[in-house]
Structure 1
Amino acid sequence: MAKNNNTTSTTNWTASVTDVQQPKVPILVGLGVAIGAFLWLAPFMGLNSVLNPAKLADIFGGPGSKVNNFLALLGTLGAITSTITTIIIGALSDRTRSRWGRRTPWLLWGSILTAADMCALGTINSENHLWLFILLWCGIQTFINMIVAPLIAVMADLVAPKHRGTISSIYAIGYVIGQYGGPVMGSQFLSSSNSSLINMGYYGLAVLMLLSGPVAAVLVRERSSKSMPVEKLDWSGFVNAFIFPIHQVRNFYLALFGKMMINIAVTAFATYQIFFLTSGMGIDQSHAGRYITLMGTATMITAIVLSSTSGMISDKLKTRKWPVAFSALLTAIGTILPFLTKAPTSMVWYGIIAGTGAGIFFAVDQALNLEVLPNPETAAKDLGILNFANTGAQILAPVMGALLFDAVGKQYLPILPWLSGLAILGAILVLGIKEPKQQEESTQNI
């Protein structure tokens, strides 16, 4: 068998790579996961943030409570579906044995099925077919995890610990551009006089989705997994493959719940941002929209700049938890500013400060995930469980926001100190992680 440049040997199959085996940064792996992340996230955000609301407003005859309620239903069902399927698909990916590796078959089929589902979703134009809209959206949440879970697991498989911060930074650049660029792409298909242009948006973004897995697979060049031992799927094997980890998991669950607290604070702020400006600060929706645009631009710029450097810095510092905790502190500071000043410009400062935190978080988050995994052979499944820090926040943030709104006297701005406190709690939990000391002598003897 030919030697793969990601590791020094494929004779004895291993689920991960050591620092000794990989003296140089695997740039192609970084480019593969970054471009792959951009190609799946940009279309998804274009649909979720722009095209789905526009299509539903067209179906219901304009924006209003029907659209809001249906979007809330889609968000809840989608998050639940994603939470369940990412764990299952991750576990199945871990057990895949093929000449193309454990992840590549899932990347390819996930791209094809998600793109096809997007095209089908674009054809729905009637209120009578909204049940099908829900099924197709849950299908997208399922099929896209055939890309997401294996793509992140590639970093656990093919990147040595000393390079994970750098590769996580490269990945974060693609992720951030996809997250903020996707809605921009989707908005190009909006038209007040041509509703069929919205459908074209679904088809156009589906092409990008179709490229995600193949492009990532070509760049990553995963090695064969046929020589990997196959664990019998008896009760012990089933527990190992599908159940939440239960051994040596202190760091794992501190990371999970710590990051969930941070994400709840960020998601709840995004959910109520327009109400902070209108109901809380007394400006009209038109002016609120301008401040939200300025805030979003500031967040995107700072996040891109910081995400491109923070991972490499964390490699040099040989720590993941401190940058993540610092990012949470910046989020907490940015979150409480509108409450303290009650000035619309504070929302822009939130974008700058919290955007700086977001850039650091995106860059180091995946590296932290990889280093708290209890078992590299079940990496995709366990990373899927860690993804609950994101999907769980999507479900819990609106609920938490509604409870806080009632608790503080049906006002919006007094919610912010509580959200800031959640971010600080997340930082405290992350700082509880015990990081192993990296052995520098292993690289000095290369």
Structure 2
Amino acid sequence: MDRKAAGTTAVSTASAPETKEPTYGVNNADQPKLPLRLGFGLLVGPACWMLAYVGVSATLLPAKLQFFAPDQKVALIPLFSTIAMVAATISNIIAGALSDITRTRFGSRTPWIVCASFACAIMFVWLAFSSTWPMLLVTWTLYNVALNCVTAPMIAQLSDRIAPRWRGTISSFWGIGMAIGNYGSGLIAARFIASNDAATTGVLIFAVIAAVGGVISPIIMREPGNKDVVRAKFDHDAIKQYFMFPTRNCRDYYLALAGKMLMVTGQYVIVGYQLYIFSDYMKLDSDAQTAAISTMSLILMITGIVFCVIAGPLSDRFHRIKAPVAITTIMLGVGAFFPFFDAEPWTMFAYALIAGIGMGAYNAVDQALNVAVLPDPKTAAKDLGIINMANTLGQVFGPAIAGLVISTIGYRAMFPVETAICVIGGLLILAVKRVK
């Protein structure tokens, strides 16, 4: 009897699945070498989804609206941005929270990144062949839902797997990817604005980029599986922790969020209307618009990449994050003053030069600042998703403010408005106390 009981116990113990408690973040001592593989994965990911997103939102979507509803185009841009913002904000927070508690053989973030990237591509194909602006609105909204299911889990890798000593440098990899996507998109999209058929082709190209990036980035990063990690319990406290806005230890967190939101708002005052600035404010023809957008995008991309490469390692070396983020936010506003003085393309190129320097340095350290002010590492994706909401809100508020200013005062007034917004954003970031 005793031997049978012992044998039974042994078999039972051997067959029981092993579980372990989740770990949050990496210590400096556990990561003595720069995790280059992760860095390259966090470069490829944002490069691809930003190429697709900005290429369509800043150029090809306005181009299609110009063909379908030329008399309503200025008013429709804020409408598209507002509805997409509501959907994106909700999906960002939910996707981030759900990825925090996901347990699979591929990890918690990878399944979301891959599946949502393919969903983005499908929405782009649908958008490409939409023939009315209401259908464009539906597909654009669904695309933004899918996109935020990519971004929130992807940026959480910076908190999950990067030690504090390397966050500035790895954040610069993310920033380089953002610069390539943000500004390289214009080089591609500008080639497809001559007609609706051309715009359709451009959107399909970006659909492929979105899908490919959503597969390559996780392959490079090789997230370890976490199927054996203890699952979160869905009780009242868990729902409050994983799905609600943080309420403790969060002063600096909300200052960083507000500063980021104002920076993006200021940026999209111009970016959201760059096609119309060249066409309606500077009176360029179609060929000149293509050349101007390409030149501006090239300036932004080169300066953005160069200063992103420089700023991230310097931030780690001198242990300074807050000041570079604040100063570069203000720089974006300073550059916006040039088009105010003269309605000529060179003023937008001057803006691109200053904004590119500022955005390059900003993108290098912005995510490091965001991780440094997180209230709780257990809910990194959800809380970073909320901060990423600042991107979404800024992309809505910027075009909405610009549309209001253009309709009531005129194009020239939008540039000092951006300056004021960015200066206020920089001052809010300077008020953060937790980091230098």
TM bracket (short chain): 0.7 to 0.9
Give matches, 1:219-234, under 5 Å: 219-234=220-235
Contact in 2 for aligned 1:114/1:140 (Cα 8 Å) = yes
Distance 1:362 1:304 in 2: 9
TM-score norm. by structure 2 comes to 0.86
Residue 379 (structure 1) shift: 0.8
Q: Aligned letter for 1:251?
A: D
Give matches, 1:180-191, under 5 Å: 180-189=183-192
Paired position in structure 2 for 1:442: none
Residue 234 (structure 1) shift: 1.7
Paired position in structure 2 for 1:73: 79
Matched, 1:429 2:428: yes
Q: Aligned letter for 2:157?
A: V
Paired position in structure 2 for 1:21: 30
Paired position in structure 2 for 1:112: 118
Paired position in structure 1 for 2:148: 145
Contact in 2 for aligned 1:275/1:412 (Cα 8 Å) = no
Residue 250 (structure 1) shift: 1.0
Paired position in structure 1 for 2:391: 390
Residue 173 (structure 1) shift: 1.2
Aligned residues: 416
Matched, 1:379 2:388: no
Contact in 1 for aligned 2:269/2:414 (Cα 8 Å) = no
Task: Provide Cα deviations, 1:116-152, integer angstroms capped at 9, x if missing partner.
Answer: 2222333323x3xx54433222211111222111111
Residue 53 (structure 1) shift: 3.5
Matched, 1:31 2:53: no
Residue 67 (structure 1) shift: 4.0
Q: Aligned letter for 2:153?
A: P
Residue 277 (structure 1) shift: 7.7
Paired position in structure 1 for 2:352: 351
Paired position in structure 2 for 1:443: none
Contact in 2 for aligned 1:36/1:212 (Cα 8 Å) = yes
What is the aligned counterpart of 2:129 among 98, 123, 130? 123
SS at match of 1:65: coil
Distance 1:133 1:269 in 2: 22
Distance 1:432 1:155 in 2: 24
SS at match of 1:14: coil
Alignment CA distance shift 1:201-1:105 (3 Å): same
TM-score norm. by structure 1 comes to 0.84
Alignment CA distance shift 1:101-1:64 (3 Å): same
RMSD: 2.9
Paired position in structure 2 for 1:321: 322
Distance 2:343 2:48 in 1: 39
Residue 364 (structure 1) shift: 1.0
Distance 2:375 2:383 in 1: 8
Paired position in structure 2 for 1:212: 213
Distance 1:45 1:401 in 2: 17
Residue 73 (structure 1) shift: 2.5
Paired position in structure 2 for 1:440: none
Distance 1:322 1:305 in 2: 19
Residue 419 (structure 1) shift: 3.0
Paired position in structure 2 for 1:51: 60
SS at match of 1:246: coil
Q: Aligned letter for 1:182?
A: S
What is the aligned counterpart of 2:101 among 95, 115, 122? 95
Residue 390 (structure 1) shift: 1.3
Q: Aligned letter for 2:30?
A: Q
Distance 1:309 1:109 in 2: 34
Paired position in structure 2 for 1:166: 169
Residue 198 (structure 1) shift: 4.2
Paired position in structure 1 for 2:251: 250
Distance 2:84 2:99 in 1: 21
Distance 2:415 2:334 in 1: 10
- Aligned-pair identity in percent equals 35
Residue 155 (structure 1) shift: 1.1
Give matches, 1:302-321, under 5 Å: 302-321=303-322
Gaps of 5+ in 2: 1-18
Residue 412 (structure 1) shift: 4.5
Contact in 1 for aligned 2:35/2:162 (Cα 8 Å) = yes
Distance 1:179 1:186 in 2: 11
Contact in 1 for aligned 2:20/2:230 (Cα 8 Å) = no
Task: Provide Cα deviations, 1:78-128, integer angstroms capped at 9, x if missing partner.
Answer: 122111111111111111011211101111211222222222333323x3x
Distance 1:413 1:321 in 2: 32
SS at match of 1:20: helix
Distance 1:376 1:393 in 2: 25
Contact in 2 for aligned 1:13/1:227 (Cα 8 Å) = no
Contact in 2 for aligned 1:319/1:435 (Cα 8 Å) = no
Distance 2:188 2:338 in 1: 31
Distance 2:136 2:313 in 1: 42
Residue 420 (structure 1) shift: 2.0
Matched, 1:178 2:152: no
Contact in 2 for aligned 1:274/1:288 (Cα 8 Å) = no
Alignment CA distance shift 1:116-1:262 (3 Å): closer
Residue 46 (structure 1) shift: 2.8
Task: Provide Cα deviations, 1:281-331, integer angstroms capped at 9, x if missing partner.
Answer: xx5334984666544432222112111221111111112101101202322
Alignment CA distance shift 1:209-1:388 (3 Å): same
Contact in 2 for aligned 1:276/1:413 (Cα 8 Å) = no
Residue 251 (structure 1) shift: 1.0
Alignment CA distance shift 1:123-1:387 (3 Å): same
Gaps of 5+ in 1: 1-9, 438-446
Distance 1:292 1:204 in 2: 18
Distance 1:418 1:190 in 2: 28
